[in-house]
Structure 1
Amino acid sequence: MEKRESFQSRWGFILACIGSAVGMGNIWMFPTRVSLYGGGAFLIPYIIFVVLIGSTGVIGEMSFGRGTRSGPIDAFGTACERHGKRKIGEALGMIPVVGSMAMAIGYTVVMGWILKYAIGAFSGTTLAPEHVDDFADKFGSMASAFGNNGWQVLILCITMAILMFGVGNGIETANKIMMPIFFFLFVGLGIYIAFQPGAATGYHYIFRIDPVALADPKTWIFALGQAFFSLSVAGNGTLIYGSYLPDHENIPAAAGRVAFFDTLAAMLAALVIIPAMATTGAKLNQGGPGLLFIYLPNLIKSMPGGRLIIIIFFVAVLFGGLTSLINLYEAPIATVQEKLHVGRKAACMIIGAIGLGVSLLIQGIVSGWMDVLSIYICPLGAGLAAIMFFWVCGKKYVEAQVNKGRTKPFTKLYYPICKYLYVAVCFIVLILGIALGGIG
């Protein structure tokens, strides 16, 4: 049997998991929700849910992957095998793998946009439009059907090139480089913004606690959605990274670090974007791609040193997004390796070809594509992984996997909390997403 690849260091694994979690949700959605739902009134439930999901689902998916040394299909199959239902488990394991592939395809479109704007930040084209309507027209043209083919192909080639180098030399090395740079650049932007006139108004806006917003169920619902999707529990990426982890690593400690740095990334984005908006008196009520590609470039254009700021900003966003894209493609690549018994480079070429063809075709409908995945597939995948690990595998197996690499056993409350509370949370996210048209 061929030896399974593994991460070469503890921090390499942690940075890879942080990279998988840090993405567009931290940058274009978190600051908007902080702004819309009462600043600190949103942060309170958000942190509660980050702690809950980080200490249950993230640990569970990492442990499940390490315990089975496989991706979702074989992991689900292994869980069901003791009940004579391996084929059923493998069929259910296809759901998070297909979801990961579909999400990666949609993300490829978005990363093509980001690469174009990052390169344009250096050449000057990103800030070339004169007015906000011009920025909107530029983005609309790019985001239309077949509107950004070249940059999209290039970002996919970069991603597959990294993945071809494998887990240690590819994924781990890329995250060791890109994640520290991401945090360094955003800290630098935050310091610069702090010295701009009017920034204090933005800080007050972030940390105020609006009692009305805190009592509003929507604040808690969208804080749950933000935490759930930000921590990348979907039955695929965290599970597959866990499968590359040696037995001596302490998974609960690693999950805690991932949750901390993911939250730090989101807060850094808020501490840059909300005060920056406040310097011009603008209210942040526009999230999603419009914030990133229309309103922020228009704002940065008017700031002192705008040319340098836009370079730093989009390079940081590019690195944050690329690490997430790597993670999304890894689950289907590993699955192709396992099921077709081909080498890593061949698997990357197969998945890359599918990703290229489909991503080029969905450029004009990518928003709807991603909505379907975030509403239905991601929470379903997380829920299925949780059921397989906590219900099908059982208490003895779960506790044995979670406690590997620890000097002291993890809390006895872990299993019942996950079995009853976390599994329920996954399906609550699914139901609320369907009812409200998405909460992630």
Structure 2
Amino acid sequence: MAAQVRHEHWSSRFAFLMAAIGSAVGLGNIWRFPFITGENGGGAFILIYLVTTALIALPILIAEVMLGRMGQQSPINAMRAVAQKAGRSKFWVVIGIGSTLGAFVVLSYYSVIGGWAIRYFFYAVSGTFTGMDNDASLALFQTFTADAGQVVLWHTFFIGINVGIVIWGLHAGIEKAVTVLMPLLFILLVGMAIYSSTTPGFEKAVTFLFHFDFGKVTPLTFLTAIGQGFFSVSVALGAMMTYGAYLDKSENIARSGIIIAIADTMVAILAGLVIFPLVFSYGLEAGSGPGLIFVTLPITLGKLGTGIELGAAFFLLLMVAAVTSAISLLEPVVSWAEESLGVKRKVSAAAMGAAAWFVGLGSAFSFNIWSDFHPFSGIDIFADKTIFDALDLTSTSLVMPTVGLLIALFAGWALSAEATAEALNADPDAAWFRWWRFLIRYMAPLGVVSIFVANGLA
């Protein structure tokens, strides 16, 4: 039986939006969205992304926040309470269990990459990138990640920062952090984008990102857009449900959801306008993934007269994006422990943070002493996967889509139109509500199933 814990509520709409946008904006926005935009038709992809996000990811985001506010507890206990009140099967608590476990697992390996961002911030500040060529940058990255002690050290530091924020609760911890960090993130992004607009590669970067090249659009482009939108707005990991539990009943969830989705997309586009002008100015490859951030970008920064300042600003930006996402992953687990185990928040945050740190060691070692260890090699899709790769694949390709699908089915089919209208403070006959209900019942489930198909898991 869950303890009756009375949670704090957001002190303002601004605080909630900063926290929710911070949850949505993560490391993937900084490198993945700009790259796949350029590779999938530029402006054509952005248009497809906006449409598919509005039709699939946004309705699920609204539903997840709504369920959190209805349950007023952590995802597991919220789903138990909402299902019971609606007279539905106890099975639906699996939404809360899956999202909470998913958040914990993602935090465990996300913190390893977050640690890299912190380490590279200090590299930038110290001028390490100055005069660096491709071989030197690659050697720096390989030397760092091959050192298990260093990777674990910065993994520990990153987890410690997040525990230090969450341990103080909603008002003194999370709110204070996000209301400072998120405006800082936007200021850094805009400032760096203005600087990048003065570089020789800016025109090429704009073409790379925004040219409508429909020749690159294939059926896979639509699936890529659906997947990016689904994961980008931070649904199905319990964060939005937990943050929704701290919302006052007067808050307009639908309007907030739209703001979150727009801000998340703006950050991703601005990140592209920061990174690619610098990369193209020196004729470097706009490679995908960590290589773009931790290998290619340092070469560019090392060639600039303002490289130390710009590098420090960029990796500070990366740290902020990582931290605001990570605290939203830790909070659902901490909230559940408070309610279900009856422990104080400081104990809960420290214990859950330590547990995520311990599980994260497997991911930290995946880049060095366990790089040849494939724990699930007997399963085809995991045959060549390290612990880090296996956790990432399981979370993003199985757990998150499954939870997202279940959220759509529960909100669209298990709950009545009257119940969801009341929960959203909506008129059941309002056009926007009827449209949302159509999307959550039909379009969103079909979109999530397509993610399974795209990953070969259906």
Please indicate, yes or no, whether the TM-score normalized by the shorter chain is above 0.5. yes
Q: Name which of 163, 166, 186 aligns with 2:166.
A: 163
Greater mean alpha carbon deviation, residues 167-176 or residues 69-78: 69-78
Distance 1:403 1:55, change over 3 A: farther
What is the distance in 2 between the residues matched to 1:433 and 1:401? 34
Structure-2 residue corresponding to 1:199: 202
Q: What SS does the corresponding residue of 1:155 show, helix, strand or coil?
A: helix
How far has the Cα of 1:218 moved from its partner?
1.9
Structure-2 residue corresponding to 1:393: 415
Residues 65-115 of structure 1, C-alpha deviation per residue, up to 9 Å, x if partnerless?
Answer: 001112221232234325766643334531111111000111111111111
Residues 324-356 of structure 1, C-alpha deviation per residue, up to 9 Å, x if partnerless?
Answer: 001111111111112111111111011011011
How far has the Cα of 1:265 moved from its partner?
0.2
Gaps of 5+ in 2: 367-386
1:229 aligns with 2:253: no
Structure-1 residue corresponding to 2:383: none
What is the distance in 2 between the residues matched to 1:12 and 1:404? 23
What is the distance in 2 between the residues matched to 1:9 and 1:224? 31
* Aligned-CA RMSD value: 2.1
* Contact 2:88–2:414, Cα closer than 8 Å, also in 1: no
* Contact 1:235–1:384, Cα closer than 8 Å, also in 2: no
Distance 1:409 1:400, change over 3 A: farther
Structure-1 residue corresponding to 2:241: 239
How far has the Cα of 1:35 moved from its partner?
1.7
What is the distance in 1 between the residues matched to 2:402 and 2:167? 29
Distance 1:371 1:135, change over 3 A: farther
Structure-2 residue corresponding to 1:417: 439
Distance 1:301 1:100, change over 3 A: same
Map 1:21-420 to 2 at 5 A. Answer: 21-53=24-56, 55-81=58-84, 87-125=90-128, 127=129, 130-144=132-146, 145-214=148-217, 216-284=218-286, 286-363=287-364, 364=366, 365-403=387-425, 410-420=432-442
What is the distance in 2 between the residues matched to 1:25 and 1:166? 26
How far has the Cα of 1:62 moved from its partner?
0.7
What is the distance in 1 between the residues matched to 2:315 and 2:237? 30
- Counterpart AA for 2:12: S
Aligned residues: percent identity?
Answer: 30
How far has the Cα of 1:396 moved from its partner?
1.7
Q: What SS does the corresponding residue of 1:93 show, helix, strand or coil?
A: helix
How far has the Cα of 1:185 moved from its partner?
0.6
What is the distance in 1 between the residues matched to 2:75 and 2:456? 24
- Counterpart AA for 1:139: F
What is the distance in 2 between the residues matched to 1:84 and 1:176? 39
What is the distance in 1 between the residues matched to 2:28 and 2:73? 27
How far has the Cα of 1:47 moved from its partner?
1.2
Structure-2 residue corresponding to 1:431: 453
| TM-score, normalised with respect to structure 1 | 0.93
How far has the Cα of 1:366 moved from its partner?
2.1
What is the distance in 1 between the residues matched to 2:409 and 2:114? 33
Distance 1:399 1:84, change over 3 A: closer
* Contact 1:237–1:330, Cα closer than 8 Å, also in 2: yes
- Counterpart AA for 1:374: T
| TM-score, normalised with respect to structure 2 | 0.89
Distance 1:256 1:49, change over 3 A: same
Distance 1:184 1:390, change over 3 A: same
How far has the Cα of 1:314 moved from its partner?
0.4
Residues 224-268 of structure 1, C-alpha deviation per residue, up to 9 Å, x if partnerless?
Answer: 111111011115111111010000111111111111110110010
What is the distance in 2 between the residues matched to 1:160 and 1:20? 16
What is the distance in 1 between the residues matched to 2:24 and 2:124? 25
1:14 aligns with 2:17: yes
- Counterpart AA for 2:141: F
What is the distance in 1 between the residues matched to 2:451 and 2:74? 23
What is the distance in 2 between the residues matched to 1:238 and 1:124? 39
* Contact 1:198–1:279, Cα closer than 8 Å, also in 2: yes
* Contact 1:399–1:415, Cα closer than 8 Å, also in 2: no
Greater mean alpha carbon deviation, residues 98-107 or residues 226-235: 226-235
Residues 351-401 of structure 1, C-alpha deviation per residue, up to 9 Å, x if partnerless?
Answer: 011011111232114244212211111111211222222222222211111
